[in-house]
Amino acid sequence: MKESEKSRHESPFNTGASVIEEFLKTLPSSPGVYRMIDVDEQILYVGKAKNLKKRVTSYTKSHGQSTRIMRMVSLTHAMEFVSTHTEVEALLLEANLIKKLKPRYNIILRDDKSFPYILITGDHDWPQITKHRGGRSRKGEYFGPFASAGAVNETLATFQRLFPLRSCSDSDFQTRTRPCLQYQIKRCSAPCVGRITPNDYNDVVQEARAFLSGKSHAIQKKLADKMQRASDALDFEQAAVLRDRLKAMAHIQSKQSINLSSTDEVDVIAAHQEGGQTCVQIFFIRSGQNLGNHAHYPSHNKEEGLSDILSAFIGQFYDSRPAPKQIWVSHGLAEVDLISEALSIASNKKIEILTPKRGPKKEMLDHAILNAKGALSRKLAEKASQRKHLAAVATLFEMKEPPTRIEVYDNSHISGSHQVGAMIVAGPDGFEKKSYRKFNIKDDKLSPGDDYGMMREVLTRRFTRLKKEDPDRVGAASGSREQWPNLILIDGGQGQLSTVEKVFSDLEITDVTLVGIAKGPDRNAGRERFFMTGKAPFSLPEKDATLYFLQRLRDEVHHFAITTHRAKRSKAIGKSPLDEIPGIGGKRKKALLNRLGSAKGVESAALADLEDVDGISKALAKSIFEFFREER
C-alpha cells in the first residue's frame, strides 16, 4: 500500500467511520435516537432519525460532509441507540436528551429559565392573586407567561389597584384579626375581616379573570357605567374609587406596546445571525396583549443556519413548558409538520407553526427581528469589551492567558448574626448569574463576626465539593454542575488572602490565581489595594479602566452578599427592609408604600420622589436614599 493511501486509510475520520460501521450490522431501520460518544465517554452529539440505519450510515461517507461532521465522526469511539415507535417520539426524546446532556456538537439552548405567571387560585373560598413560577401544581387559573419577574411584578402592582384581591398566603388570611397595610393603601378589599361580601368579592374576581383573558374593553365600559351612576347619585367617594380603577386599567394597557386584538395565544420567535452568533427573540402574546419579550443566545457551531437553529430552539424551549396555539417564526423550518405534530402531542392540543408573509403578523415578526438584531449587536459589543477587560486582568495579575471564569467571594452579617457567604461569577459573557451561590455559615464554633473563619468555611466547602465532582477539571462534560475558576477575587486584604491560601494549600490546589481586593484608606473607592502571593500590595491609577472593571466585580459580590443576608434576616424576623431604616414608623411606612407602591418601589425611587412623600423630610428622604445605596 502506498504511503499516501495508508495515511488516508488511517485518518481520524476513517477510524471513527469504522467504529460506526460496526454498529450498522445490528441497527434497525426504525425511528429512534442515537448518541455519539468519545473515548472519554462524553456525549458528542444526540440526533434523531426516521430510519436509524439509513441516518447513521450517512456518517460513514466522507464526501459532502461539513467540517463539523468530519470532526465529530473523527472523535466517535462508541454509539448508543434508543428505538421509538414513531419519528415524533424520537424528536421529543432528542430535545429532552439535548437539554439534559448538552452535547458539544448540538445546538444548545443555554438559558432555560422558567417564566413567571399570574395565578388566581381556585382552591380557596376567597381566591388569592399572586405571582407563580414553576410547575402548575396548584389549582387555579394561570395567565402568562410574562417575559420577566419585573414585568409581572409591575403588572401585579398596578393590577391590585384595579382589582383589590388579596395577595396574602392562606395562613396569613386565616389568622388576621384586622386589615393589613394593603387594605389601607387600597390594594386589597380585606375579605379576611369581612370588609367585603362574598358576592362582591366574587364579582371582582370575575372582572379580574375577564381582564386577563383579553376582555378589557367590556370591563372598562362596565366600570365607566358604574362611575357615572355613582356620580349621578352624588356618591363622589365611590365615583373616585372607580375613576382610579379606570386609570389603573389605562396604565396597564399603555404598557402593551404591541396590541394584536384578534390574537388569542401566540409566541413570536425571530432570529438574527451575525459574527457567528445568533440571537433568538421571543415575544409572548396572550389575549391580544404583549406580555414582554426575552432574548436567547443558543450555543452552536458557526456553520449552523437559522432554520436549523430555530428548529432546535423550539424543540428544547417547549420541552418543559406548554406551547401556545400558534407559533410564528421568522424563518421556515425544514421539518415544520413534524415539529408541529410533536408539540401537539406533548401539549394535548393542536399547535400551528407559521411564517407569515404579509399583514399585521408579518409586521410583528419584523418587529421581533429588529429586536433580535439590536440585542445581538449589544451582546457582541459587550463581549468585545469584556474580552478586552479579561486580557487586561491577565496582564495585571501575570496570568498566562485571560481568565474564562472569575469567582468573587464576600461575607455579610450584622454583629455576627445571620452570617452568609456569597460567590458571584464572571466570564467572557459578563456576569453569569445562574452560577451565583450563597452559603449559610454552618460552623457554630465560629466566633460571631469571624470573617476569616467564614471565608475559610465557604472556600473549603466550595472546593472540596468541586474536587469531588470534577477531579479531572473537564467541567460540565463530567456531569459536574460547576466549573473550575482561573481567578479568585476575595473582598478583603492580606488577612483574607492568607486564609484562602491556607485552604488551597490544604486541598492541594496550586493552579488558581488568588487576589485580595481591599478598599484604600477611609474605604475610598478608587484607592483599592491588591494583594497577591509573593508580591507587595499595589494600587492602580484612579481612572484606570481595569480598576473600574475589578470594582464592578467587587461591588457585585458585595451587593449579592448584602441582599442574601437581608433576605435571611428579614425571613427570620418577618420584617420589611423599610423596618430597618431609622426614623421610619408605621405612619411613614404607610405613606411611602401608598405613594411608591412597594418596598421595591421605595428602594428604586429617586431622591426627589422620596422628598415628595407626605411626612418625609428632606433629611429623612436622603437617609432612606442612602440606606439602599449603601446596601447595594
* pLDDT above 90 (res 530): yes
Amino acid 576: pLDDT:
66
Residue type (1 letter), 390: L
Residue type (1 letter), 408: V
C-alpha separations of 560 from 157, 314, 341, 423, 434 in Å: 25, 33, 44, 8, 13
Query: Are the CB atoms for 346 and 318 separated by under 8 Å?
Result: yes
Amino acid 475: pLDDT:
56
Per residue in 141-176, pLDDT (tens digit) is 998 898 888 888 888 887 787 888 999 988 889 888
Amino acid 253: pLDDT:
59
Give the sign of the dihedral formed by CA 496, CA 502, CA 503, CA 504: positive
Per residue in 331-347, pLDDT (tens digit) is 999 899 999 999 999 99
Amino acid 459: pLDDT:
92
| Helices 67-75 and 12-24, axial angle in degrees (round to 10) | 70
Amino acid 477: pLDDT:
45
Closest CA to 307 of 359, 269, 347: 269
Query: Are the CB atoms for 149 and 117 separated by under 8 Å?
Result: no
Dihedral (Cα; 8, 12, 17, 20), 10-degree rounding: 160
Query: Are the CB atoms for 484 and 478 separated by under 8 Å?
Result: no
The span from the CA of 354 to the CA of 324, in Å, is: 12
Amino acid 8: pLDDT:
45
Burial pattern 126-162, b for ≥16 Cβ within 10 A else e, equals: bbbbbbbeeeeeeebbebbbbbbeebbbbbbbbbbbb
Domain 575-631 falls under CATH 1.10.150.20? yes
CA atoms within 13 A on the CB side of 485: 23
Residue 630: which pLDDT band, with cuts at 50, 70 and 90? low
Architecture of domain 265-379: 2-Layer Sandwich (3.30)
> Who contacts 432 (Cβ-Cβ below 8 Å, separation ≥6)?
405, 425, 426
Per residue in 562-592, pLDDT (tens digit) is 887 676 665 554 456 776 777 787 788 888 8
Query: Are the CB atoms for 593 and 602 separated by under 8 Å?
Result: yes
Per residue, the 3-state secondary structure of 333-402, as one string, reads CCCHHHHHHHHHHHHCCCCEEECCCCHHHHHHHHHHHHHHHHHHHHHHHHHHHHHHHHHHHHHHCCCCCC
Q: Please state which CATH class domain 406-570 belongs to.
A: alpha beta
Q: For residue 199, which phi and psi values (nearest 5 degrees)?
A: -65, -45
CA atoms within 13 A on the CB side of 295: 18
C-alpha separations of 70 from 14, 73, 98, 404 in Å: 10, 5, 20, 28
Per residue in 337-376, pLDDT (tens digit) is 999 999 999 999 999 999 999 988 999 999 999 999 999 9
How much of the chain exceeds pLDDT 70, in percent?
89
* pLDDT above 50 (res 4): no
Cis link prior to 356 (omega < 30° from 0)?
Answer: no
Residue 239: which pLDDT band, with cuts at 50, 70 and 90? confident
* C-alpha cell of residue 52: 436509524
Mean of pLDDT over the chain: 85
> Which range, of 33-42, 286-295, 446-455, averages the lowest pLDDT?
446-455
Once rounded to an integer, what is the mean pLDDT over residues 455-481?
75
Once rounded to an integer, what is the mean pLDDT over residues 485-496?
92
**For 108, which DSSP code?**
B
Amino acid 251: pLDDT:
61
> Which range, of 74-83, 256-265, 267-276, 407-416, averages the lowest pLDDT?
256-265
According to the per-residue pLDDT averaged within each range, which of 244-258, 375-389, 615-629 is highest? 375-389
The span from the CA of 114 to the CA of 564, in Å, is: 21
> Which range, of 74-78, 119-123, 623-627, averages the lowest pLDDT?
623-627
Which residues of the chain does CATH 1.10.150.20 include?
A: 575-631
* pLDDT above 90 (res 474): no
Q: For residue 489, which phi and psi values (nearest 5 degrees)?
A: -105, 130
> Among 3.40.50.720, 3.30.470.30, 3.40.1440.10, 1.10.287.540, what is the CATH number of 3-101?
3.40.1440.10
Which residues of the chain does CATH 3.40.1440.10 include?
A: 3-101
* C-alpha cell of residue 628: 439602599
